[in-house]
Chains A and B, each alone.
Chain A
Amino acid sequence: MEKRRTGLWLVACAVLSFPAWPCTPSGEGTKLESARYVLAYKTEAIEVAKHFSIDIAACAKPGQPEPAGIKVDAQMPEHRHGMNYAAEVKPLGPGRWRAEGLMFHMPGRWEFVFEIRAAGVTERLASSFQLSSLLDFSKDELARILQHGPWPPPLKPDPSNRVSGRPEAIALGEKLFFEPRLSGTGSVLCATCHAPWRLYQDARARAFGLELVERNTPTVVNVRFYRWFGWDGAQDSLWAQSIRPLLDAREMRATPSHIAKTVRALFPKDYEQAFGRPVPQNDEEVLVDVGKALAAFQETLVSGRTPFDQFRDSLQKGGTTDYPLAAQRGLRIFVGKGNCSVCHFGPQFTNSEFADTGVPFFIAPGKVDPGRQAGIEKLKQSPFNLLGRYNDDRAGASATGTKHLQAQHRNFGEFRVPGLRGVAQTAPYMHNGSLATLADVVRFYSELNEERLHADGEKILKPLHLTPQEAEDLRAFLESLSAR
C-alpha cells in the first residue's frame, strides 16, 4: 500500500514538471493552459506602485482557431478590486503581444486575467501573483540596515560628569531646564528654544533666545549620544554645551555669578542632594555643576522606538513586516546609491562628526559662519573642555578625542552631521534652518551643487538625481524614523 502511494505521487510529479504542451507559444515565462490555448507570460520585476509591462505569447491547440487578440487585466480577489489603470495591449507579431501600463498599487495576492479572443469566442486564463511586502534586500544592504540598530542602545553614564544618571541630579537638571531665573534677564529658559512639545527644538529657522542668532536650534532628544556638541562642535561634553547658551549674551545672557547666586537662592537643597555637598562659594564651580545637572536631565531624553526599528528588528529575526514599501525603497536609497548612511551612520543615524555638504554659510554681507574650524579653536581655548580641571573622568579616556583633535582647512564651513531620529518633527533643517521641509532636504541632495565642493573633498557627495518617486520614497523612509 505504501509503495503504491509513492509510485502514484512520482507519476503526478512527472506530469506537473514536464507537461506535454499541445502547442508552443513563441515566448518565455509562466505557462497557462485552457481548453483551446496555451499562453506564456513574462513580466518585468514588479514593485508596488510602479508601472510595469508584460510580454505575452499564445498559441492555439490543434484544431483551434489562432488567437485574434488578447485583453489583460489584474485584480486582487481578496480585496475585491482591480488595478487603477487599464493596460494597453500592443501586438508584437503573430501570437505575441505586450501589455503596458499595468500597476499594482498595494502588496498582496494579485491575479492576472488574460482573455483570448478568437472566432467570436473569448477564453479566460488566470494566474496568481504574490506581490511581496518586503523588498529583496541584498546581503550587503541588510548588513547596512542592521547597523542602524538596535534601538535604544545601552545607556552608559558620562564619565566626565560625576552626577550623570543620578536621580537627584536629573531632578535638579529638570528644574533648571525650565527655570527662567537662570537667564540674566529672568525671561528665557532652556525650554524657550528647546520646547518639549516640539521635540525639544523651536521650529524656527534660526534660534531666538534674547536675540536672533545664526544657527538653527537642534533637538536635545538623543543628544547624549553625540561626541561633540553644537553645530560647530565647540564643546566636547553635554555639560559644557549646557553652559554655553547660559552665558551667551544673545541667548540667556547670564554670568557665572548670576547663575551661582540663583542656585544658592532657589535650589540649595536640590543642589546638596544632587552633588552631596553644599553649594560651593566658587561661582565657576557652581556654573559647571549647573551644566552637569542640566546634562543629567537631558541624558534622559531618548526617543522611542520607530516603525523603522520594528522593521529593522524583524529583518534581523526573519519575521514579517508591515513597514511600507515606499519607506523600504527609501531605505534602499539611504543605504545604497544615496550614500546617506556613510555619515548618517549607526543607531543614531550620525557619525557625530562634521561635513561640508555645500550649504552656503554666509550669515551677513562680508560675514561667514566658519563652523567646525572656529569650533575647534573655541574648544581648545575653553576652560570647560575635557582636558581641563572640571572633567570628572580621572582615567582621562573621555578626553582622547579632544587631545588629538586637529583643525584642517576643510573644517572651514563644516557643520555637524545631525542624527536623524525624529527628523520629521524637527523642521526646518540644516545648521542655519535654510531648508523648510524634508522634501527640500531630499531635493537639496538630489540636486547637490558640486560647484560648492572641493575637487578633492568627500567623494560620496554627488547629486543623486532622484526621480520624483525616489524622492518621495526617501522622504517616506525619513518619516519612519519618528516614534509613533
Chain B
Amino acid sequence: MRALLALLVLGISSGAHAQALPIFDAHLHYSHDAWELVPVPQALEILRKAGVKRALISSSGDEGQQRLYQAAPELVIPELRPYRARADVGTWFRDESVIPYLEDRLRKYKYAGIGEFHLYGADADLPVPRRMVELARKHNLFLHAHSDVDAVERLFRQWPQARILWAHAGFDRPERVAEMLKKHRNLWADLAFRTDHASNDKVDPAWRTVFLQFPDRFMVGTDSYTPERWHYVQGHADWSRRWLADLPREVAERIAWKNGEQVFGSLLAPY
C-alpha cells in the first residue's frame, strides 16, 4: 500500500513537473516572410504562452530577430545567419558577399552565435565558411551548424576551440551522435525537427542511453522555417514536455532549458 502511495505521489510530482517545465527553444527562425504574418508582439506572445523561457533565434534576413531582441531582450538570444534570404541556403558558402554582410552586422549588433547555416562535407573548407569561422573566433561566437559529421569535423579542425551547436544532431544515429559528443567536448546538439528519439511520449532506448550519458549537451527546438510554424511552438513545447517526462527529472530539466540557459544565457547582456 505504501509502495502504491509512493508511486502515486511520484506520478503526480512527475506530471506536475512536466506541466511546469520551462523550455529553452534553441532553434527558431524569424525570417522575412514571417514579419507581417506573425508580427513581433504575436511572436513574443506565442513564446511566452508556450512557456518558452528563452529562445535562440536567427532569421533571413537578419532584421527579424533584431526586432524580436529589441522588443524582448530577456527572451530572445540573437544568432546571425549568413543568409539575406532563405534562398541563400544552398549558395551562401560560395558567395563572397556574405563576409562583408556578416562583418557589417557584427559591427552593428550583438549576437550569441553565427547560424543556423547549412554546410556539408568538404564545402566547410571553402574560403567563405573559413572566413566565417574566423569571424566567429574573433567575436567569440557559437557556430550553429546544420551539417553532417564531416563538416562538423572540418569546422573543429579550422578552430579546435570552437563551440558548435549541432542543428538537428546532424539527423544522425544516436550512436554516431554519442561518438561526436564524446570526441568534442565543445559540441552541443539540438533535437529540432526530429521525432525518432521519442515515440508515444516514451524515449527511444538508444537515445535514452545517449541522453543519460550526455545530459548536459542536448537542447530542444521548434525550427520555424515557415511563418506558419510559429504556431507550432506551443505544440512542440507540449510534445517536448511529454517525452522529457520519461527521463529522470534532472536530465529532463537540463535538456528542456538548463543547458540552453547555461550555454547561451550569459553570452548576451540585455540592452
Point out residues on A near B: beta carbons under 8 Å. 360-362, 365-368, 370, 373, 406-410, 412-413, 450-452, 454-456
Contacts and interface: CB of A to CB of B under 8 A. Distances in A.
B226 A406 contact: no
Contacts of B195: 406-409
A412 B146 contact: no
10 contacts: A406-B199, A409-B194, A409-B195, A409-B223, A409-B232, A410-B193, A450-B87, A451-B87, A452-B225, A456-B193
Interface residues of B, number: 28
Contacts of A360: 226, 228
A366 B226 contact: no
Contacts of A452: 225-226
Nearest to B171: A456
A366 B225 CA distance: 16
B146 A455 contact: yes
B209 interface: no
Interface in B200-258: 200, 223, 225-229, 231-232, 235-236
Given A406-B195, A408-B195, A451 B33 contact: yes
- Identify the 7 closest CB pairs spanning chains A and B, nearest first: A451-B86, A408-B195, A368-B231, A368-B228, A412-B232, A409-B193, A452-B226
B223 A412 contact: no
A456 B168 CA distance: 10
B104 to A, nearest CB: 23
Contacts of A454: 193, 223, 225
B235 A413 contact: no
Interface string B28-44: 00010100011000100
Interface of B: 31, 33, 37-38, 42, 85-87, 89, 118, 146, 168, 171, 193-195, 199-200, 223, 225-229, 231-232, 235-236
Contacts of A373: 232, 235
A32 to B, nearest CB: 51
Contacts of A370: 231-232, 235
A367 B46 CA distance: 12
Nearest to B42: A366
Contacts of A408: 195
Nearest to A456: B171
A456 B225 CA distance: 11
A288 B42 CA distance: 42
A436 to B, nearest CB: 22
Most-contacted residue by chain A among B85, B226, B231, B232 (CB, 10 A): B226
Contacts of B236: 409
Contacts of B171: 456
A409 B232 CA distance: 9
A455 B119 CA distance: 11
Nearest to B37: A362
Nearest to B198: A406
Contacts of B86: 451
A403 to B, nearest CB: 11
Contacts of A368: 228, 231
A412 B235 contact: yes
Contacts of A450: 87
Contacts of B31: 451
Nearest to A409: B193
Contacts of A361: 228
A199 to B, nearest CB: 30
A9 B228 CA distance: 78
Contacts of B89: 455
A373 B228 CA distance: 13
Nearest to A361: B228
Contact of B229 (A365, A366, A413): A413
Contacts of A412: 228-229, 232, 235
Contact of B118 (A365, A407, A455): A455
B143 to A, nearest CB: 17
B186 to A, nearest CB: 24
Contacts of A413: 226, 228-229
A101 to B, nearest CB: 37
B145 to A, nearest CB: 12
B93 to A, nearest CB: 13
Contacts of B194: 409
Contacts of B225: 452, 454-455
B220 to A, nearest CB: 11
